[in-house]
Structure 1
């Protein structure tokens, strides 16, 4: 053959092993004779992750219980992924125990052995079979770890001794379906790189916090408490500002057919501040229609209010729907209070100036 191809996957169908390839040069046709070469680096890294998956499976069963069953897995040269039956998240403490248990087996450097036997003999020997998997009359039993830590049926490629794995490290745990959790992990050089990266990150965090790894958690909690206190103080000051601003704004209201109309933009306000200010304006005006706006990071927040004695003539929801639409947005709400937003900041002054005329049209 004058072509070359990379084998990307192998599957089994009707008793045959199928190799999936990507042609990288030339061409390949039926009947060609090919020379095969194993990518030793890729295979060795994949073996580490595959063997670690077996140790992880057994560690999960010992730590969480015999209800743990494999629901899926992915093993490649970079990482491993293991899905298993479990009804709740696995705590950080339990994950640490599982990691330690697997690494204990890695450090034991026990020989990994394989043996072909009948299915009945394998089950009698305590081998674990995967639910739903089809097995032939003769199966391959894989034993690894000190004192036969893990015994499973498996036909895949594995390390010679558990010490070859080098290091096992869990990088994540999450739910993927009802009653199914997923653990992702790395081994060997990838695990060392991951741990080194985490160490560097911790050093950077400790530097920013002026803390040590032992005191960093407490420092973070103290900062979070400080932020909560500042947020409470900020909310108190916003409320105070709303009270003051509301009283000042009402001086700008105009009268339309016996109803006071107020439309204004408030600098530095948030959606929450606008609602507080709206309440103050309604109380101060007594009778009226109000539209307040604020701009934050190029987005417009709008709130509208109509006093209860006026909602039979003008509704706050209609105010918001109309003017939010004029500003390229949308919104809605109750007859007495509504909120929305827009994006056309340049049009905001003209839109606010048009509010009295629109109210006059509604009243007419």
Structure 2
């Protein structure tokens, strides 16, 4: 078997960055796309960002919602980086329409990897699977030993889907897939520079500040991470023997609040400051709104959860160190939003 890596979801924000780094490191890379029509777009993005080893990249057509194509995609690969998530063009009203495809998708990948004798699968999970149930009153830090309660008030359907998909994956590994090596990366809010106009959902927080749609800033604390650090962690978890059977929180050191982000942009990118609100949304309004409004409940959860998050495990076990501070990751994301015309 060649030292080839399959990256699912090659057109995505994180997936493209992982492919970029793998090619730069000399790996043979295969990526899945839902349609071969996307091939040229991926190649153009990589070339425009300086990748010269395009000949080391190949494509496979596969969809997380279907069995077809996955065995062929994995047949000559040693590693699988399971990055892709189910795509919804309309927001489902029933959370099960989000959760079921996420669970089915990762199990489909693990079964195909098992059949194809893949050595290791690294899954892109989410901090929502780790730290949403440990609240500010907790004195200890949030680590990979923590799990979010699936019934946590305010947890979004997306975060719940990532939680239950990761639980289902570990359950499969512990039963049918014992011979398959497995690890997860659990990123907090992902910022940093984008290679094209496809950005992560976390960027919506910055868009709301920059486009004037938010009149007052909810001073919610955040943990953030640079997408380049997330990609680096995937690769380290893929090749480090000790990463087998482990979870890794992907986070920069410390935390940053929404109010601090607003002040940072005003200071460092003053040309964008004119729409950024200066008034704070009182926490009491978020707490009151949480009694009747779903979005306010999600905001209250973000307000209440413990933000003393440890990235020590990745540092020690994978010899990883984030290249970006919170501030650098935020500003790089802001610059990408401007570069690709994603803010008004």
Taking structure 1 as the reference length, the TM-score comes to 0.21
Structure number with larger C-alpha Rg: 1
| Between structures 1 and 2, the one with greater strand share | 1
Give me the TM-score of the superposition, normalised by structure 2. Answer: 0.22
